[in-house]
Structure 1
Amino acid sequence: MVYMLKSFWEWWKGRQARNEVVKFLHVRKCNECGQPLPESFEPPADEPWTTGIFGCAEDTESCWTGLLCPCVLFGRNVESLREDTPWTTPCMCHAIFVEGGFALAAATAFFHGIDPRTSFLICEGLLFGWWMCGIYTGLFRQSLQKKYHLKNSPCDPCAVHCCMHWCALCQEHREMKGRLSDNIVSPMTIVNPPPIQEMNSASHSHDDTAPSSAKSSEHTSLEMQAL
């Protein structure tokens, strides 16, 4: 009987240990830092974008940069989101997909002329380059939405970049610009306190003796004159 109770107790302890291990392995972790989350943790709700997809005119600088040099604006956006990535790397990738596709289409039309066969080849190359650019930039937009818990505006990130690429780049730039400016801490003005003034007994006695010595000197300076 004692042996049975001892065996049951060991089995129960082993089962509890296995449950603890399973519970530890199935604990929820943060997708960003990988730290375990408490059971009462609830993910924050999705927030709306601070500006709309067609609010390009709200920021003139990013509007002109996105219109004339979208690869540069995309590189700056990636650099602001990922500090370990220089802006030149995503800028070159964007240029290969978009500007490279346009350059290839222009070269094909220049050397082979424009006929039904080359026109189909040009359109096919442009659509493929644009589709690859939409996927590449859409992944970045998805990372931005994941970091700031933003809603899909107005639809899937890749579809947004495929249909409204320039507007999406400007919206992403305005979003990060506004959020980064909110996180900047204003500098504090440091005021140095006045020096501490102390009064010792020596100075106090010197102050007390000074008037008396002055009075004595005044008295000694008087002369007696006969009337």
Structure 2
Amino acid sequence: MAKGVFGNKPTPISIYASLLHFYRRLKQSRVYPMADDDNPSQYVKLNKLQAPVEIDSRELNQPVEVPQLNVQKCEGCGQALPESFEPPAIEPWTTGIFDCAEDRESCRTGLFCPCVLFGRNYEASRDDYASATVPCVLHAVFVEGGLAVAATVAAFNGLIDPMASYYLCEGLLFSWWLCGAYTSIVRLMLHNKYHLENEPCDPCLVHCCLHWCALCQEHREMKARLSDNFVMPMTLVNAPPVQQMNPAQE
């Protein structure tokens, strides 16, 4: 009998003993919970008679909030900012938009040659030493040229077909809006550089409604800001006199 259990040839008793031993080891490890009287099964048996579970599509693919990514970011470049960062305060303009008489030179230039004043403002607002020739020419062609066309249409009002006059006026108004959007780039650069407030309204609307006053105000603002920059005086160092070594007297 012992030879049949522990011999080389397996017997039904040895197989049953091995299965019983394996069952006890598996139950102790609790890798696969099995059902019995003391420990009911934790698995749910599915069948065809079970009611289907409704899943809302909005519950799927929900964004996961990561605290490390919920940081303040720069609006310009999108880089993460430190927690102690505070945006700079909005500063007011040094002069009002209707204070054109404070600087008579810029007032005369903006009234009679606004293209020249716009070119100067564009050149002074750029940090890459841009030329004022191209902005000045564009301003003269589109702004002064558009005003000349509008004056010509108004002078020959009775000689031009009414529908043609209507289309010309509509095109001039649209081109004036485009010119206001183009000339407002200097005002936007001043806003970003000196953190100025939108006074009295959006830069594009300011140039569309008060173009000449806006040019003069921008020129006065840059003139006042640049004059506040303190330049350190240069220290002149005089070189010591040249010393010549005389040969030893014999």
Structure 2 length-normalised TM? 0.59
Moved more, 95-104 or 112-121: 112-121
- Gap change, CA 1:38 and 1:55, over 3 Å in 2: same
Supply the distance in 1 between the matched residues of 2:195 and 2:150 (Cα, whole angstroms): 39
Whether the aligned pair in 1 keeps the contact of 2:71 and 2:80 (CA below 8 Å) is no
> Number of matched residues?
174
- 1:166 & 1:127 partners in 2: Cα distance? 17
Aligned-pair Cα RMSD in Å: 3.1
Judge conservation of contact 1:105–1:125 (CA < 8 Å) in 2. no
Could you tell me whether the CA contact under 8 Å between 1:30 and 1:36 is conserved in 2? no
Q: Give aligned-pair identity as a percent.
A: 66
> What displacement does 1:48 show?
0.3
Partner of 1:87: 132
1:148 aligned residue? 194
Separation (CA, whole Å) in 2 of partners of 1:190 and 1:49: 38
C-alpha offsets along residues 101-120 of structure 1, whole Å, 9 cap, x if unaligned? Answer: 1334456666x934523432
Counterparts of residues 35-114 of structure 1 (less than 5 Å): 37-84=81-128, 85-105=130-150, 113-114=159-160
1:46-92 deviation line (CA, Å, top 9, x unaligned): 00000000010011111011101111111111111113321112112
- Per the alignment, in what secondary structure is the counterpart of residue 101 of structure 2? helix
Is contact 1:74-1:90 (8 Å) kept? yes
Per the alignment, in what secondary structure is the counterpart of residue 184 of structure 2?
A: helix
> 1:93, 1:143 → 2: CA distance?
19
Q: How far apart are residue 132 of structure 1 and its match?
A: 0.9
Matched position secondary structure for 1:160: helix
Q: With structure 1 as the length reference, what TM-score do the two structures score?
A: 0.65
Counterpart amino acid of residue 78 in structure 1:
Y
1:54 match: secondary structure: coil
Query: Which residue identity does 2:108 align to in structure 1?
Result: W
Distance (whole Å) between structure 2 residues aligned to residue 178 and residue 43 of structure 1: 23
Residue type of the alignment partner of 2:97: I
Q: Residues 65-214 of structure 1: matches in 2 within 5 Å?
A: 65-84=109-128, 85-105=130-150, 113-185=159-231, 187-188=233-234, 190=236
| Distance in 2 separating the partners of 1:61 and 1:186 | 29
Q: Which has the larger radius of gyration?
A: 2
**Following the alignment from structure 2 to structure 1, what is the Cα–Cα distance between the partners of residues 178 and 215?**
16
Task: Supply the distance in 1 between the matched residues of 2:80 and 2:112 (Cα, whole angstroms).
Answer: 45
Shift of 1:99: 1.5
Gaps of 5+ in 1: 1-18, 196-227
Moved more, 118-127 or 128-137: 118-127
Higher helix share: 1
- For structure 2, the 5+ residue unaligned runs are 1-65, 242-250
Contact 1:97 1:132 in 2 (8 A): no
